[in-house]
A and B are shown apart, each in its own frame.
Chain A
Amino acid sequence: MDQQLRRRVWSVLLIIGFFVMWEAFCWVFHISDIVLPKPSQIVVTLVQRFPALWPHAVQTLYTTLVGFAFGIVAGVLLGVMIGSSRLAYDVAYPLLIGFASIPKVAVVPIFVLWFGSGAVPAILTAMIMSLFPIVVNVATGLATTEPELEDVMKALRATKLDILWNVGLPRTMPYFFASLKVAVTLAFVGTVISETVASNRGIGNVMMIASSNFDVPLVFAGLIILAIMGVALYAVFSLIEARITGWAHRKDEFAMG
């Protein structure tokens, strides 16, 4: 426990140190606000503009979460389908990798073409960004289930659904939650990309407008908001992961205990 506490303290010190260095760097080299604003300046901007920024932050968070929710549903369904048999896994994997390696920025204009600008393309972008890590992890988790575990169930004349429910899915949970942490940050990226390209709301849009006005402190304020929301969501899903799939991380637990 002592060691863990020390690690936390060092983490906090590193974060504070980072901003202190940044501030000092700007002071020493007399860097203009238009190039790189000082952290103190960003905080001031953040506080001053907060009433105006707040609705945009909420919009971005909302879009991200809706897109992410769709991504989870679609990702789990696809993952279960692909992972349920060795054949489906081998057949579908190349196509999946193909889709996953398309830069998602390139898809935004297509969504805008189909659905117009606004929240819909942003939700869709967040969804496809978060979709692939979930599909790949769920499918891998299912496809790599130890045959011995399944034999125990088969000897009991368990149905395919019984096996999926009692062995396949629980065994896949660590993979699933590991993918959620990655996917939720990707959903954020998706939302912001889409907002910068085609929306009149959201933090992405605010940053776009601010940068065209050379209001660089506001751009950085937007970045800080995104970073805070991203870290918060990551933390939430890490917590859920630790609670539900503690059995898969027992070594850490021993180390802590």
Chain B
Amino acid sequence: MTSDSNARTDDTFIELENVTLAYGRGERQVVALGETNLRVDQGDFVALVGPSGCGKSTILKLVTGLITATSGYVYVAGREVGAEPVRVGMAFQNPTMLPWLTVRDNVMMPLKIVPPFRQEYQSKKKTEFRDRADALLKEVGLAGFGDKHPWQLSGGMLQRASLCRALIHEPQLLMLDEPFGALDQFTREELWAVMQELWLKLKPTVLLVTHDLKEAGYLANRICVMRSRPGQIIDDAAVPFARPRTIDMSYTPEFVSMTQRLRELIVSARPVRETV
């Protein structure tokens, strides 16, 4: 570890304690994540970068409770994951919109599921909640697309809608699993700006998985570099640039040298062909 940001404080929101995750049993066991410790403060924005197959997405799934750790503990808001009354928003690489619903209804889905909104869903879905969805859609540049169906929108538009769905219930915890990965460069950069703006406004705790070092540098407060087999965090550094950040900033020598350092770390962390 190159920084002491992993020290426990009162602000600690996510905590992974000696967490390992293995698939399969016996000799065919694959360790996706080995002995990992990670602390993330409330309202922080942490990016996880690393070669493919290093367990970045595994950490997200563990923190969301989609999978359970083989050993070790995952705490969110001071309680073991699953038991905590924390609102979680998640956006995936695929927009995963439900094709039978309109874009607005898709965006409103978390309000239908997550308490305390779900109790009020029937009474507010045509007034307050609807307005909230439309306001959010407008913010990501999708004003007027609420009544369209997902298949009438382009990939970039769907990804914007997917961000709205991850944010509409004002989650305390936001999980972004390569949400901009499948987009073209310009759409991506535009969405970074949208994402930064939303984060500055709502201040959720964010975990972002990405392959894009520029993206990590632009968005995150902290960047954790992982290596694979077994997945492990090998570097954890703060991003010193002031907010709001701009694309121009990513061409400054400081920024470039930071991404270069990260790149070297990842290249050296790539799995070496070993004798099996």
- B175 adjacent to A155 (CB under 8 Å): yes
CB-defined contacts of A166 to chain B, threshold 8 Å: 98, 109, 112-113
- B100 adjacent to A157 (CB under 8 Å): no
Known contacts A155-B66, A250-B151; A148 and B94 CB within 8 A of each other:
yes
Known contacts A155-B175, A166-B112, A166-B113; A148 and B92 CB within 8 A of each other:
yes
Q: Of all chain A residues, which has the CB nearest B111?
A: A156
Does A90 count as interface, using CB distance less than 8 angstroms? no
Tally of contact residues, A, Cβ under 8 A: 21
A15 to B149, CA, bound (A): 38
Instruction: State how many angstroms separate the Cβ of A171 from the closest Cβ of chain B.
Output: 7
Does B74 count as interface, using CB distance less than 8 angstroms? no
CB-defined contacts of A173 to chain B, threshold 8 Å: 100
Question: Which of A148, A245, A248 touches B96 (beta carbons < 8 Å)?
Answer: A148
Does A29 count as interface, using CB distance less than 8 angstroms? no
Which has the most chain A C-beta neighbours within 10 Å: B65, B88, B96, B114? B96
- A149 adjacent to B98 (CB under 8 Å): yes
A249 to B259, CA, bound (A): 46
Does A158 count as interface, using CB distance less than 8 angstroms? yes
CB-defined contacts of A151 to chain B, threshold 8 Å: 66, 90, 92, 96
Q: Of all chain A residues, which has the CB nearest B94?
A: A148
Does A170 count as interface, using CB distance less than 8 angstroms? yes
Task: List residues of B (4-48) whose CB comes within 8 Å of A's CBs.
Answer: none
CB-defined contacts of B100 to chain A, threshold 8 Å: 170-171, 173, 245, 247-248
Bits for B91-110, please: 1 = Cβ < 8 Å to A, else 0: 01010101111000000011
- B66 adjacent to A248 (CB under 8 Å): no
Does A33 count as interface, using CB distance less than 8 angstroms? no
Does A239 count as interface, using CB distance less than 8 angstroms? no
Does B64 count as interface, using CB distance less than 8 angstroms? yes
A167 to B105, CA, bound (A): 13
A69 to B199, CA, bound (A): 52
Does A86 count as interface, using CB distance less than 8 angstroms? no
Task: List residues of A (135-170) whose CB comes within 8 Å of B's CBs.
Answer: 146, 148-149, 151-158, 162, 166-167, 170
A248 to B109, CA, bound (A): 20
- B88 adjacent to A157 (CB under 8 Å): yes
Known contacts A151-B66, A247-B149; A158 and B113 CB within 8 A of each other:
yes
Question: Which of B92, B98, B114, B149 touches A156 (beta carbons < 8 Å)?
Answer: B114
CB-defined contacts of A170 to chain B, threshold 8 Å: 98, 100-101
Bits for B59-93, please: 1 = Cβ < 8 Å to A, else 0: 00000111000000000000000000000111010
Q: Of all chain B residues, which has the CB nearest A244?
A: B100
- B88 adjacent to A248 (CB under 8 Å): no
Q: Of all chain A residues, which has the CB nearest B169?
A: A156
CB-defined contacts of B98 to chain A, threshold 8 Å: 149, 166-167, 170-171
- B96 adjacent to A154 (CB under 8 Å): no
- A162 adjacent to B113 (CB under 8 Å): yes
- B99 adjacent to A153 (CB under 8 Å): no
Q: Of all chain B residues, which has the CB nearest A245?
A: B100
A166 to B112, CA, bound (A): 9
Instruction: State how many angstroms separate the Cβ of A101 from the closest Cβ of chain B.
Output: 33
A250 to B150, CA, bound (A): 11
Instruction: State how many angstroms separate the Cβ of B179 from the closest Cβ of chain A.
Output: 13
CB-defined contacts of A162 to chain B, threshold 8 Å: 113
CB-defined contacts of A154 to chain B, threshold 8 Å: 64-66
A-B contact list, 26 entries, CB within 8 Å:
A148-B92, A148-B94, A149-B96, A151-B90, A151-B92, A152-B90, A152-B109, A152-B165, A153-B109, A153-B113, A154-B64, A155-B64, A155-B88, A155-B90, A156-B90, A156-B114, A157-B113, A166-B109, A167-B98, A173-B100, A245-B100, A247-B100, A247-B149, A247-B151, A248-B99, A250-B149
Counting from the closest, the 8 A-B pairs by CB-CB distance are A155-B90, A247-B100, A156-B113, A148-B96, A158-B113, A155-B64, A170-B100, A247-B99
